[in-house]
Structure 1
Amino acid sequence: MNQAELNADAVRRGYQAFNADDLDTLTELFDKNVSWHTPGRGPFAGDRLGREAVFQLFGSYKSETGGTFKVTLKRVLTDAEGQVISVHHATAERKGKHLEVDGCIAFEFQDGKIVRGKEFIFDLYPLDEFWE
């Protein structure tokens, strides 16, 4: 398996671990100095630095939705440099609101670990409204 395939496999494992609340696997996949960007104007928008801050963000998605926040991986794309883009569909329930958004994440890897994640949402308005 080449590095691009290994990185794509890591992203697939990461989605499974996120949905299963498997912090051990996420810790294995994410570099301790990972950076993460979430778009939008809601309370979770912005940049996070460090695995602990990123995992706190992920935990907030879960806690704010009573554990209903789920992300279904639709596609994984790679390039020759080993970068990975995931395409996904997210759903959640919160305060009588229902979330259904499509998005993608651009992942960068170093030494087999995720060092950067940048989220993109195809339509930010429903996401911002959901977190209000």
Structure 2
Amino acid sequence: MTTQPATIARIYFEALRRGDVPTLMDQFAQDVVWHQPGENRFSGIHRGVDSVGALIGGMMQVSDGLFALEVAGPLMVNGDLVAVPVRFTGRREDASTDMSGVDLLTVRGGKIVEMHLFSEDGAAEDAFWGTV
């Protein structure tokens, strides 16, 4: 029996909250596609679990481990899609961020196969992450 999309999303966000990288990464399909918004050093389409792992690791490195994302509302499910309101915060050097967003997960076969991220203020997020 395949695990329901909402359950996979809950496991993913709880692992992210705890910093449990093995459990977090285990929620992704090997060929996951991640759509990171904006025009910053992390923006673009990242393909494959290794690329997504490098993306997440890079975000943690740039923010000195201070980047955090919390679920800010109910998970909303439509078939294999799960929309999740989030709040993310972070600090790096002399910059900080604190904003709302939505993460849209596509879950098939008990794994996250695609992620689309949305931010309330793309320009502010770009400024926070920087270009290189």
Query: What TM-score results when the alignment is normalised by the length of structure 2?
Result: 0.90
Aligned length: 128
Query: 1:11 maps to what in 2?
Result: 9
Query: 1:20 maps to what in 2?
Result: 18
Contact 2:67 2:90 (C-alpha < 8 Å) held by counterparts: yes
The one-letter code of the counterpart of 1:77 is M
Distance in 2 (CA, whole Å) between partners of 1:87 and 1:14 is 14
Q: Which runs of 5 or more structure 1 residues have no equivalent in the other structure?
A: none
Q: Report the 3-state secondary structure (helix = DSSP H, G, I; strand = E; otherwise coil) of the residue aligned with 2:38.
A: coil
Match among 65, 76, 86 for residue 63 of structure 2? 65
Q: Please identify, of 93-102 and 45-54, the stretch whose mean Cα deviation from structure 2 is larger.
A: 93-102
Structure 1 runs of 4+ aligned residues shifted over 3 Å read: none
Q: Please identify, of 15-24 and 55-64, the stretch whose mean Cα deviation from structure 2 is larger.
A: 15-24
Query: 1:34 maps to what in 2?
Result: 32
Distance in 2 (CA, whole Å) between partners of 1:40 and 1:115 is 21
Match among 75, 94, 97 for residue 95 of structure 2? 97
Distance in 1 (CA, whole Å) between partners of 2:54 and 2:100 is 22
Distance in 1 (CA, whole Å) between partners of 2:61 and 2:120 is 24
Q: Which runs of 5 or more structure 2 residues have no equivalent in the other structure?
A: none
Q: Percent identity?
A: 26
Distance in 1 (CA, whole Å) between partners of 2:11 and 2:110 is 13
CA RMSD after TM alignment: 1.5
